[in-house]
Structure 1
């Protein structure tokens, strides 16, 4: 799931193009013009925008283009500052330090797909559509947004793929008719990315579908659990240390305080950067990333948010 081929590398912004109202597409290249790491549809980059300001953006270009990586960033005026930094400072000629690419939303081979995108959620879906089409799969894209002007890549997708792409600006057509789309399970996979309300609605309607049929990626974390944290003992198998993590402190924070280096980014359980192997004990998953099957397996966890069901965990750190 992890490929840190660009861990800490500095890339240069060679182009910045508008993709829709409030959406900028950055083209990122090596300063020396060399090849970039390979990536697959669904992958994202971490952009290190400043101290404590790391954001994840899905790659939306062509995986066959090893010279350029492209990300689309929607300006969030009421956000935490990442998109404002991108829109204000990352102009052509600027440099940005990056990590990745990393893929927690891979496209699984299948004969049939339904892609459901909402707003900027189109970014990881766009290269998936191209891959599905190139593979000769039967696919359909349903793409909704606030208005046609805010829907990045909408015209290009429709021009290239015709009626396989359904565009549904809310101010023209209302909300997506998910009951019609998902009310009856079919043989195939559903990929969804977009606002939390859309993802939750799709998840609700896909409960009757076969296990593993639905794949989602969230940009924001799920609502926190109501559980009260208890102290947990954590053994770091590779470091030979045992830590007591007190209530109110995350496992990641305790590990960092002990001087053990762990890659991390969002600290919200959405990006997968801090994913850590579990060798013993039962994790209490609080992330917004792992599938139900991965949670049940219990052999990996996001230590930035997740805790423990058992009094002790042994981690691969």
Structure 2
């Protein structure tokens, strides 16, 4: 793990004149001018498709950040108090919980503070156990392993030749977590932005006091008082808007996708915090090589769900095709890949992701 900052972590210039902000690059890097110039040609690094590297951290703070006491913010630091790897708004962490479960949580702290990472987790009583473990099993002083930050939801603003325009942010529930650092970066670069933050009730919504400093740039919408927000309410006035960034439940994201389908002038970037439904699925079979069992995967079912029905101990986490923890190797058959998270080497080795990918015919997998 290197303490040296990377140029790919420097944000773009606010007005589109440079692919990366020159002043911030100089401050962040502290390296010679040639290295600084070379870095402007680097593509954004997401961390996806590379082998994950884990390291130890310790829990140094815990705070309840919603009035209903069901959202806890947890801060991690290195045991020696050193500097953590850089990250950009939209990034998440792979976290190995004490039980051995692997979960992904968005970073919601300050990317400029390299001494600590912050996540926030809502307690889900009928969930898969990860949120309960974070709420009940990670006291201050706990040590655990986390992976290098990955980013499947990067904020891309002010790129080369990109016009300066407004950004619309839309957060639903705990989807506020990746949005918080985006707000900080937009403020830092001077890019115009507005946001709507939706939740069941005001008491259930995290970080409201932290957001008060932004005044009327943020609209808080409580479903219990005003009903579910319509796509028009979610999008607001898109005049002059370059892009919409949204994180929230699938119904909200799907409604926005439909509403923005006829707006090619507006980029739509989104992240779900639960699995998307299967689209254009066809029934196929999976044979487990070790046991010889053959499972039928329904047209609207994921291969992972079919595997879990007979192998509940199978490893998985995000169920959205980016964490790669559920990857299995195909021994026979033709997979239909529906994720870009696997590296070319992993694809050549025959791996596929049963949480999102499908098959043409029967697949035999190494399980």
TM-score (norm 1): 0.76
Unaligned runs of 5+ in 2: 1-45, 159-164, 288-293, 305-314, 328-333, 342-346
Question: Distance in 2 between the 1:192 and 1:133 partners?
Answer: 18
Match of 1:217 in 2: 271
What are the within-5 Å matches in structure 2 for residues 12-161 of structure 1?
12-20=58-66, 21=68, 22-50=70-98, 53-110=101-158, 111-159=165-213, 161=214
Once the two structures are TM-superposed, the CA of residue 178 in structure 1 deviates from its matched residue by 1.9
Partner of 1:2: 47
- Cα distance, 1:8 vs structure 2: 2.3
Determine the C-alpha separation between the residues in 2 that align with 1:170 and 1:205.
20
The secondary structure found in structure 2 opposite 1:102 is coil
Out of 215, 228, 236, the position equivalent to 1:175 is: 228
Q: C-alpha distance in 2, partners of 1:124/1:164?
A: 17
Matched, 1:229 2:229: no
RMSD of aligned Cα (Å): 3.6
Report the CA distance between 1:222 and its aligned residue.
1.4
Q: After superposition, what is the alpha-carbon deviation per residue over 1:119-164, rounded to whole angstroms, capped at 9, x for unaligned?
A: 10000001011111111111001001011111111222122x1100
Distance 1:105 1:166 in 2: 22
Greater alpha carbon shift after TM alignment, 204-213 vs 32-41: 204-213
Residue in structure 1 matched with residue 25 of structure 2 by the alignment: none
Q: Which of residues 201, 219, 243 is equivalent to 1:166?
A: 219
Structure showing greater radius of gyration is 2
Deviation at 1:212, TM superposition (A): 6.9
Indicate the structure with greater strand content. 1
How many angstroms apart in 2 are the aligned matches of 1:205 and 1:167?
21
How far 1:309 sits from its partner (Å)? 5.5
Within 1, Cα distance between the matches of 2:178 and 2:200?
19
Counterpart CA distance in 2 for 1:117 and 1:98 is 25
Distance 1:267 1:113, change over 3 A: closer
Offset of residue 216 of structure 1: 0.8
